[in-house]
Structure 1
Amino acid sequence: MELLSNQPRYDTVPEKYIFPPEKRPVNNVVNRSINLPVIDLRGGCIDSDIGRDEIIRDIMKAGKEFGFFQVINHGIPAKTLNDMLQVCENFFKMPAGEKERHYSDDMSKAFFLNSSTQYDQSETRYWRDYMRISCYPIEEFINQWPEKPENFRAVLSEYTVRVREIALKLLKLIAEGLELDKDYFCGDLSNGTKMEVNYYPPCPDPSLTMGLLPHCDRQLITVLAQGTAPCGLQAKYKEGWIDVKPIPNAFVVNFGHQLEIVTNGILKSVEHRAITNSTVARTSIATMTVPTMDCLIAPAKKLVTENNPPKYKEFIFRDFIEAYDVALANREGVLEFFKLY
């Protein structure tokens, strides 16, 4: 079992983590002057009509330009968020023997631990460990989650409920912004919730490594907690990248491939990646709203017009997952399977 978190500290970067010069982050343009939009959800009371239209406009504007935004005053207590970040950090700090039982390459498991990424066939490894968790329905999966750290299951259950609630509320606002029925994304399109918890230990030389490859998310929408560690997430913007700077107690929201397809390209799923830092470990928690495997995905009929014909064909979500794996998460490679023109 090769986990970066089993080593207390690295003095040098092992050869297998060093990327070729052309793939290193220092060779890409990063625009430090542009920040993601920050949207105030007014305490999470987004079921109210007060300020609702303004929030919808802000979400649609950010979604069309960036495919990303941050949300503050979302209604999730800081304690709930901090407890989740802490219990995940504690998991990666456990002795190797405690973690070993959860290590697996089987992506069908409700919980598994792994390192690097399964979406790159090169020999170079990414500087991260991660756990992938099926979270919802909770009662279906809770007994398959780790029992250690001691409060892991309780904290994860509480966090899942809270973040899923925010994701579904955001999807209703997006539906309204598209002039669809507000419950358009309910049901099979958003029936599941999965998490990917990433742990990036301090790296002796971040200029040589990558935390995670550029990719778009497979699912509908992602709500990400990235704590207060130095900036590690970067989003594609025009011809370069922008830093997604951490804001205390905020969440980063980004659109997945399914939202781009259902909206017939009105909203975009944008590539993002993770870089490393030399000072402190960084933990991020991506909570993804997922269709059922047999869900039929297609552009919403109301968004298809003579001037905007369907860009994507109908498919079953299960088939999309297979195509995503074949294309090794490459954005254009994935979409090529489903584009009509």
Structure 2
Amino acid sequence: NIGLKSQFDTGKKVTPPPPPEFFLLFGFLSTKNLCREVVATYTIEAKKLGLRILELVSEGLGLESRFFGDKLSESEILSINHYPPCPDPSLTLGVAKHCDPNLLTLLHQGDVSGLQVFNNGEWIGVEPLHNVFVVNIGNQLQIISNNKLKSVEHRVVTNSRVARTSAGFFIGPSEDSIIEPEKSLVDDAPFYRAFEFKDFLLHYFPNLEDNEVVMGHFKSQA
């Protein structure tokens, strides 16, 4: 299931480019001059909001407010996704199930539902609310918090009636960032080993529909 949508991305991409199969899954649309000024302004403001949320998350975990600053939040990508109506939504998803590989995601759903999260063995629809962002915790935040925060498995379903457009803003580490559980958040033993973020992405993309396989590869052997 490769999904039904078109997409363009912009932002400070400091991580390695994903392999070709990633674009088969998520779709791709080149938009060289589309809404350049609006997109640039949106990106700046979304980054400010994301960093402020990360400051609050840091304080909630008992860390310094700037803990997730600098290299841990250096990468930024704005992804605009357009999902056309699908005559038979049972045949395809907009985006297959996955957890985000980054640190934090801000999603603006627009006014058409489609996002679903997996909870207690079932898929639950997340209805869009006016002027509200959905905030997704990514895999790196789960690892750094030593499982105190959990990434959320989600997908996008299609519908046969109306098109849907969403904007996802992804904040993540630089490719050479060392990711590991923060020592002050480890009670007995860390759940994960240390690794470079670029190594995580190399393992993530071939396995992104199975988060247990993705995260299991980086678990501590102690």
Q: TM-score, normalised by structure 1?
A: 0.58
Query: CA RMSD for the aligned pairs?
Result: 1.6
Residue 278 of structure 1: CA displacement?
A: 1.0
Question: Of 29, 33, 36, which aligns to 1:148?
Answer: 33
| Residue 6 of structure 2 is aligned to residue 129 of structure 1 | yes
What is the CA–CA distance in structure 1 between the aligned matches of 2:127 and 2:80, rounded to whole Å? Answer: 18
Amino acid at match of 2:215: L
Q: Distance in 1 between matches of 2:89 and 2:187?
A: 47
Q: CA deviation at 1:180?
A: 0.7
Higher helix proportion, which one?
A: 1
Shift of 1:297: 0.4
CA deviation digits over 1:135-191, x for unaligned, max 9? 479xxxxxxx94533xx2111110001111110000000001000111111111001
Displacement of 1:228: 0.6
The question of whether the paired residues in 1 share the 8 Å contact of 2:99 and 2:208 is answered with: no
Unaligned runs of 5+ in 1: 1-123, 138-144
Kindly indicate whether the alpha-carbon contact (under 8 Å) linking 2:11 and 2:43 is maintained by their aligned counterparts in 1: no
Which residue of 2 is the match for residue 221 of structure 1? 104
Q: Find the aligned partners of 1:203 and 1:329 in 2 and give their Cα distance.
A: 22
- Please state if 1:196 is matched with 2:72: no
Counterpart selection for 1:274 from 145, 150, 156? 156
**2:120 aligned residue:** 238
The structure whose RCO (Cα within 8 Å, separation 6+) is larger is: 2
* Identical counterparts, % of pairs: 41
User: How many residue pairs get matched?
Assistant: 206
Q: Is the 8 A contact 2:4 2:94 kept in 1?
A: yes
State whether structure 2 residue 99 is matched by structure 1 residue 210: no
TM-superposed deviation, 1:199: 1.1
Structure 2, unaligned stretches of length 5 or more? 15-29
Map Cα deviations across residues 223-276 of structure 1 (whole Å, 9 max, x no partner): 0011112x1000111111211100011111010000000000000001000000
Cross-structure match for 1:324: 204
Cα distance in 2 between the residues matched to 1:334 and 1:136: 21
Query: Which residue is 2:26 aligned to?
Result: none
User: Would you tell me which structure has more strand in proportion to its own residues?
Assistant: 2
After superposition, where does 1:290-301 map in structure 2 within 5 Å?
290-301=172-183
What's 2:23 paired with?
A: none
Instruction: Give the equivalent residue in structure 2 for 1:260.
Output: 142
